C-alpha cells in the first residue's frame, strides 16, 4: 500500500495566510517569501487536492475551500501543541548534518527565513567533511552527496549542478591563456586541483580530451577547500556553479570556459524510515526544497 500523499506544509501555511489576510502580498510578508512563491504554493496545493480553494480574485473562499480551511486550521493548531519531546522552552530540536560548502553558500543565507517561519524549531547543524554518500548516525536529516539511491535511507533529490574550470586571476596571468580549457594542449599546461568529489574525467569526457597530461596538483576532500586553493593560486579547479558563484562574483576566481558540464553527483536529503512522521523533520525538508526552488 503506497504511503498517503500529505500536502506540503508550506502550501498549507500559504493557503491559511491568504485566507486570513485576503492578500497574497501580506501573506508573503508574513511568511518571508515572494508573492509569486505564495501563489505557486497555493496552485500546487489545489492541483494535489483537485479542488478550487478560492472562488474569486478577491480571495473569497469556495465552498470546498472553506471546508478545507477549517481542517487546515485544526491541523496547524495540533502541530502547535508542545509534544512530549520538546524542551522546557517549548522548542523542539532538529539535527541536520550538512557539508561545509553547502552550509556556507546555500543554507546559512536562508536560515533567517526558516527561523522566522518556524521559531519553535531549534536547529542543530552538524557540519562534516563531505565524502560521497555522507552518513551521520546522530542526525535526523542528512545531506548526502552522490548519485543515489541509498539503501539504508529514504531520500529526496535536492539539487543538481554543473561544473566548469576556474582559477585565480594571478594564476591565469602566470600560466595562461588556456584556449577555453577545452583542449588537451591547454589542460596539459595547467596544474589541476583534484578532489574525488568532482573528478576531472567528467570535464575531459565532455570535451573529448583523451591525451592530456596535466601537471601534478594537490588534492582536497572538501569543495570549499578546492576553491580556496584555486584562489591561492594552486592551479585550476573544477567548480560547481551554484555553490561557487560567490567566488566568481567577488573576482577571486575567473572562468576558463563558457561551457559547463552536468556534474555526476547531486545533493540529496536523507533520513531513516519513519523520520518524516515528526512534523519538524517534514517541515524542514519541505522548506529547504521550496527555498532552493523559489
* pLDDT tens per residue, range 50-105: 888 888 777 788 888 888 888 888 777 766 554 444 454 568 889 998 888 888 88
Question: Over pLDDT 70: what percentage of the chain?
Answer: 89
* Rounded mean pLDDT, 174-197: 85
The pLDDT of residue 30 is 77
Which of 52-61, 201-210, 260-269 comes out lowest in average pLDDT? 52-61
| Residue positions counted in the chain | 294
Contacts of 168 by beta carbon, 8 Å cutoff, 6+ apart: 230, 231, 232, 233, 252, 253, 254
In contact, 22 and 62? CB cutoff 8 Å = no
Class of domain 162-262: alpha beta
Say if residue 268's pLDDT is above 80: yes
pTM of the model: 0.64
CA atoms of 233 and 253, how far apart (whole Å): 10
Asked, colleague to colleague, whether 9-80 and 162-262 share their fold, the answer is: no
CA 197 vs CA 21, 98, 118, 249, 259: distances in Å: 47, 15, 33, 23, 20
**Residue 94 near residue 124 (C-beta atoms within 8 A):** yes
Closest to 38 in 3D by CA, of 50, 55, 20: 20
- What is the C-alpha separation between 85 and 127, in angstroms, rounded? 24
Strand partners of residue 288: none
Share of the chain above pLDDT 90, in %: 23
Cell of 26: 501580506
CATH code of the domain occupying 9-80: 1.10.10.10
Residue 279 has pLDDT above 50, yes or no: yes
Q: What's the confidence (pLDDT) of residue 72?
A: 85
**C-alpha–C-alpha distance, residues 53 and 28, integer Å:** 18
Residue 35 CA to residue 293 CA, distance in Å, equals 14
Most confident of 33-37, 184-188, 209-213, 236-240: 236-240
Question: Domain 92-149+266-293 adopts which CATH fold?
Answer: D-Maltodextrin-Binding Protein; domain 2 (3.40.190)
d(CA 230, CA 239): 10
d(CA 175, CA 83): 61
| Statement: residue 6 has pLDDT above 70 | yes
pLDDT at 262 over 80: yes
Asked if pLDDT for residue 214 goes beyond 80, the answer is: no
At 106-147, the pLDDT tens digits run 888 888 888 888 989 998 888 765 544 444 457 899 988 888
Tell me the C-alpha to C-alpha distance, in Å, between residue 265 and each of 5, 66, 199, 250.
28, 45, 10, 26
Sign of the Cα pseudo-torsion (97, 100, 101, 106, in order): positive
Asked if 294 contacts 37 with a C-beta cutoff of 8 angstroms, the reply is yes
Q: In the predicted model, what is the mean pLDDT of residues 228-246?
A: 91
**pLDDT of 260 above 90:** yes
Three-state SS for 102? helix
Q: How many Cβ atoms from other residues are within 10 Å of residue 209's Cβ?
A: 20
pLDDT of residue 165: 95
Average pLDDT, the chain: 83
Domain ranges of the chain: 9-80, 92-149+266-293, 162-262
Amino acid at each position: 500500500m503506497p504511503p498517503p500523499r500529505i500536502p506540503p506544509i508550506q502550501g498549507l501555511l500559504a493557503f491559511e495566510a491568504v485566507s486570513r489576510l485576503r492578500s497574497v502580498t501580506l501573506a508573503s510578508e508574513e511568511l518571508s517569501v515572494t508573492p509569486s512563491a505564495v501563489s505557486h504554493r497555493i496552485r500546487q496545493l489545489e492541483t494535489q487536492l483537485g479542488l478550487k480553494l478560492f472562488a474569486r480574485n478577491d480571495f473569497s473562499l469556495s465552498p470546498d475551500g472553506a471546508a478545507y480551511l477549517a481542517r487546515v486550521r485544526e491541523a496547524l493548531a495540533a502541530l502547535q501543541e508542545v509534544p512530549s519531546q520538546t524542551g522546557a522552552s517549548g522548542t523542539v530540536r532538529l539535527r541536520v548534518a550538512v557539508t561545509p560548502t553547502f552550509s556556507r553558500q546555500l543554507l546559512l543565507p536562508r536560515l533567517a527565513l526558516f527561523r522566522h517561519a518556524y521559531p519553535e524549531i531549534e536547529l542543530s547543524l552538524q557540519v562534516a567533511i563531505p565524502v560521497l554518500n555522507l552518513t551521520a548516525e546522530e542526525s535526523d536529516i542528512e545531506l548526502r552527496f552522490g548519485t543515489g539511491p541509498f539503501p539504508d535511507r529514504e531520500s529526496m533529490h535536492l539539487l543538481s549542478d554543473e561544473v566548469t574550470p576556474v582559477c585565480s586571476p594571478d594564476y591565469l596571468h602566470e600560466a595562461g591563456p588556456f584556449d577555453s580549457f577545452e583542449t588537451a594542449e591547454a589542460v596539459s599546461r595547467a596544474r589541476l586541483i583534484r578532489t574525488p568529489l568532482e573528478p576531472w574525467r567528467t570535464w575531459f569526457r565532455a570535451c573529448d580530451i583523451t591525451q592530456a597530461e596535466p601537471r601534478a596538483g594537490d588534492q582536497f576532500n572538501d569543495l570549499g577547500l578546492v576553491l580556496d586553493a584555486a584562489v591561492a593560486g594552486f592551479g585550476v579547479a573544477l567548480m560547481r556553479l551554484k555553490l561557487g558563484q560567490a567566488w566568481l562574483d567577488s573576482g577571486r576566481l575567473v572562468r576558463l570556459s563558457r561551457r559547463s558540464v552536468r556534474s555526476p553527483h547531486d545533493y540529496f536529503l536523507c533520513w531513516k524510515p519513519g523520520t518524516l512522521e515528526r512534523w519538524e523533520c517534514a517541515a524542514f525538508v519541505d522548506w529547504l526544497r521550496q527555498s532552493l526552488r523559489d
